[in-house]
Amino acid sequence: MAALALGAMGLSFAGALHPVGDSLAVFRLAIALPALLLVLATGLPRGWRLAGAALCLAGAGSVFWHKLPLAEPGPLSVYQKNMFHRNSDIAGLAQDILAVAPDIVTLQEVSVENEALLDLLWDAYPNQHLCRYTARSGVAVLTRLPTSGTPYCSEEIGLALVAVETDSGPLRAMSLHFAWPYPGHQAKQAAWLTRYLRQGAGPAIMGGDFNMVPWSHTLRRIGLAGGFKRAGPSRPTFQLGPFPLPIDHVFAPGGGQVEVRGLSGSDHRGLLARVWPAG
């Protein structure tokens, strides 16, 4: 059992080699603590036990590191939310967004059942861009800032983009929704997004339901490709059975700080990020 647990722990760092590594990374902390106890309880030589314990502690440390605030709050505010396509509290969600008055709102799972939220926010956020993919899956960017150019909807992944004008200059505002990781299609989507970001078209912020944890290879690769940092600290936004997972994120050129909002009728908690639009 100890060997299996250590193997799973080691593979959770192998996302660069195969997407199954990032699937295991989602549960790295849940693997690390039992693996540590199993390794210490084995009859292996002391050196082997210490090496195994070091691997488990490194795994746990890689998770806890992301729970620390690593940047000051910035001047640009972004409200990130996977609405849930059958949201039961549209009015409450609208009230929460209006109460904190973000500059930009990024939404996922904008469905025909819950898109009334956009009407409720129209007066405060007249610049709205919705990319509809199916009746239950749309992504949207809302902003009270001036916009320019032509909004963009990706045909490859769930991605909406609007160019906005901030006090720091022009900025691309993106809303993203990834599929689940392996055996889901996330790796293919992440590869496309990485190529798209590397083309470069000026600074960007991105809010989304990434369905992936911040210590994964996928999110590190996206941050490098886009030239931005994830706003922290890491906080759970989705409950998968007994596992609270931080899978919703906001990226910006200079990072920033986030606070967790309530569910407001969704199965995902919202994030209010205060980010730095310049690195």
1 pLDDT higher than 70: no
Over the chain, what is the mean pLDDT? 92
Taking a C-beta distance cutoff of 8 angstroms, is the pair 252, 76 a contact?
A: yes
Q: By C-alpha distance, which of 71, 113, 106, 69 is closest to 90? A: 113
100 pLDDT higher than 80: yes
23 pLDDT higher than 80: yes
150 pLDDT higher than 80: yes
The model's pLDDT over 204-255, given as tens digits with 9 standing for 90+, comes to 999 999 999 999 999 999 999 999 999 999 999 999 999 999 999 999 999 9
CB count in 10 Å sphere of residue 16: 12
Q: Which CATH architecture has domain 70-275?
A: 4-Layer Sandwich (3.60)
Q: Domain-by-domain residue ranges, the chain? A: 2-66, 70-275
Instruction: Tell me the whole-structure pTM to 2 decimals.
Output: 0.93
266 pLDDT higher than 70: yes
Q: By C-alpha distance, which of 200, 211, 188 is closest to 253? A: 200
- What pLDDT is stored for residue 143 in this prediction? 98
CB count in 10 Å sphere of residue 34: 15
